Amino acid sequence: MRPIAVATLLILVGPMSAGAQDLPKRPHLESGADTNDAAAYYRFGTGTISSDPAKAADAFYWATRLTPGNADYLYARHVSALMAMSNDDLSDYVGRSKKVMQMPKFAEVDSLLLRAYSINPFLVRRFERVLLMREIEADVVHRNPGINRAELNDYLIQYSSKLRSIGPFAASEGRFAEALKSYAEAIALDKKHAYSMHAERGRIFFELGNPDSALAELRLAVDQMRNRDQKEVVYVYESKAVYEQSIAMIFEKEGKPDSAREAYGRALEEDLSYYPAHYRLSMLDLAKGDTAGALSELDLATQLATRSGTLRFTYAYALVRAGKDPEALEQLRQAVQLEPYYAAPYQLMGLIYDAHEQRTEAREAYAEYLSHASEHDPQLAWTKQRIGALPAATASATPPKP
């Protein structure tokens, strides 16, 4: 394994959820809001991220617990966690020294963005403007501890005007043509870090529906990373494995599964612990009807990502398709232990028990689903009807057995 693989393994499978004794407080939503709706917490966090990033971080935390596989929610949690840092900590983070980047509190924040990119490497980073302004504020205060609020505000207003057209600002606001131009200018001035800007240009071209240009930029990013000094400190979400996954997903969208497989293979050559590549390969296998291949890839993925409840839910779904209900139930039990606020695994458990006429267990699982599901969940109405229609438990029930 290459050096980045160890770091990536630790980031992807390390502890990411607070223990039951110290869960962040759920923010108080508006009257009548659905407290099982991840989107409600996301909206709350979006509205408070500038004024109270710590409270926004709590809201985004609960969004990721209710819907743990959403890339936008993980990205928002990453940004709010950075913005809620002290000025000194955030200034150290921006400086990205090797010592700082290896500290657990910074590595855990980075892992959120890595997880987001592993789900959707083309997510639009909508909060980059507020994050960059917060980073500038932290750096100014760190360097000038005695600066007063009025002086700081004047400084930030001047910088906001000057920085409006730079890549991150422009891209976060959907001004993609400006962003592309800005990144091109920055590449000419900073060859050392050009790889990351090529990757950003690739993401923008993908968003604009230009896959050829997106592929060209991402390939440049990978090539330049191979040529850079391996001792240089980089963020884990800027690994070649992530970029190769981006290339693979473009091929998937273009209907070129063989090329996608090759790119996922290169991602694993760069980092054997990069479980998202195994997950995506399993989806390709399912698409062509190769259930055995999909299960093999998902088994590898879950061995690497031992703390991913969403991955275990996906594995369980594939096992059900393969007629392996007992194995699916085991994966679902682990999924609800890891993500107890995530509704979907409970519903699938109920369906399995229901199919085997284990009516007591089916009712219990369905009830757990109902207590965790959002009122917008498409399975809600059917599940309510099914609970009411379930007959009493009988001695002829046929529980799934290994």
* Mean pLDDT along residues 68-82: 97
Is 7 inside a domain boundary?
yes
- Structure confidence at residue 232 (pLDDT): 62
**Buried-state track 8-47, b at ≥16 Cβ within 10 A, e below 16:** bbebbbeebbeeeeeeeeebebeeeebebbbbbbbbbbbe
On whether residue 216 sits in a domain, the answer given is: no
Answer whether residue 232 is part of any domain: no
pLDDT of residue 233: 61
The predicted pLDDT at position 148 comes to 79
Report the pLDDT value the prediction gives residue 8, as an integer from 0 to 100.
Answer: 42
Dist CA 67 CA 100 (whole Å): 31
Count how many domains the chain has. 2
Q: Report which of residues 166 and 7 the model is more confident about.
A: 166
Place of tokens 């039990």: 333
Enter the tokens of residue 73. Answer: 């929610």
Whether 182 contacts 196, CB under 8 Å: no
Beta strands in 222-361 (DSSP E): none
Give, in order, the Cα–Cα distances in Å from 272 to each of 217, 229, 264, 268.
24, 21, 11, 5
Residue 9 lies in a domain: yes
What range does the domain containing 389 cover? 343-402
Which among 104, 129, 163 is the end of a domain?
Answer: 163
- For the stretch 278-335, pLDDT in tens is 999 999 999 999 999 999 999 999 999 999 999 999 999 999 999 999 999 999 999 9
Instruction: Say which residues have a Cβ less than 8 Å from residue 66's Cβ, sequence separation at least 6.
Output: 36, 37, 38, 41, 341, 342, 343, 372, 374
In tens, the pLDDT along 261-273 reads 999 999 999 999 9
Report how many helices (DSSP H) and strands (DSSP E) the chain contains, helices first: 22, 0
Mean pLDDT of 273-277: 95
Token code pair at residue 98: 């090797």
CA proximity to 10, closest of 338, 304, 308: 304
Is pLDDT of 1 > 90? no
* pLDDT number for residue 402: 44
Neighbours of 65 (CB within 10 A): 21
Q: What is the pLDDT of residue 155?
A: 72
Q: What angle do CA 121, 122, 126 make, to 5 degrees?
A: 115
- Identify whether 61 is part of a domain: yes
- From the number of C-beta atoms within 10 Å of its C-beta (0-12, 13-18, 19+), residue 304 rates as buried
Decide if 31 is inside a domain. Answer: yes
Give the model's pLDDT for residue 19.
Answer: 43
Round the average pLDDT of the chain to a whole number and report it. 88
Give CA 184 to chain center in angstroms. Answer: 27
Domain-embedded: residue 283: no
pLDDT digits (tens, 9 = 90+) for 200-246: 999 999 999 999 999 999 999 999 988 875 656 667 778 899 999 99
Domain termination residue (choose one: 129, 163, 197): 163
- What type of residue is 94? V
Helices 128-143 and 71-83 cross at an angle (nearest 10°) of 20
* Closest by CA position to 195, among listed 214, 216, 220: 220
Q: How far is CA 398 from the centre of its chain?
A: 39
Higher pLDDT, 162 or 73: 73
Task: Flag whether the pTM goes above 0.85.
Answer: yes
Domain end call among 163, 184, 205: 163
What are the structure tokens assigned to 359, written together? 């009516």
Compute the distance between CA of residue 47 and CA of residue 50 in angstroms, rounded to an integer: 8
**157: pLDDT strictly greater than 80:** no
Q: Which pLDDT value is given to residue 352?
A: 98
**Are 183 and 201 in contact, with CB atoms under 8 Å apart?**
yes
| pLDDT, average across residues 6-31 | 60
Give the model confidence (pLDDT) of 326-372 as tens digits.
999 999 999 999 999 999 999 999 999 999 999 999 999 999 999 99
The tens digit of pLDDT for each residue in 241-258 reads 999 999 999 999 999 999
The pLDDT tens digits for 94-119 are 887 777 777 888 889 999 999 999 99
Q: What percent of the chain has pLDDT over 90?
A: 68
Higher-pLDDT residue of 15 and 310 is: 310
CA distance 26 to 317: 30
Q: What's the pLDDT tens digit per position in 180-206?
A: 999 999 999 888 889 999 999 999 999
CATH code at position 87: 1.25.40
Is 380 part of any domain? Answer: yes
- Please answer whether residues 218 and 198 qualify as being in contact, where contact means their C-beta atoms are separated by less than 8 angstroms: yes
Place 85 in a pLDDT band, splitting at 50, 70 and 90.
very high
The two structure tokens encoding residue 395 = 């001695």
Instruction: Return all residues near 250 (Cβ < 8 A) that are at least 6 apart.
Output: 206, 211, 214, 215, 218
Which pLDDT does position 395 carry in this prediction?
Answer: 43
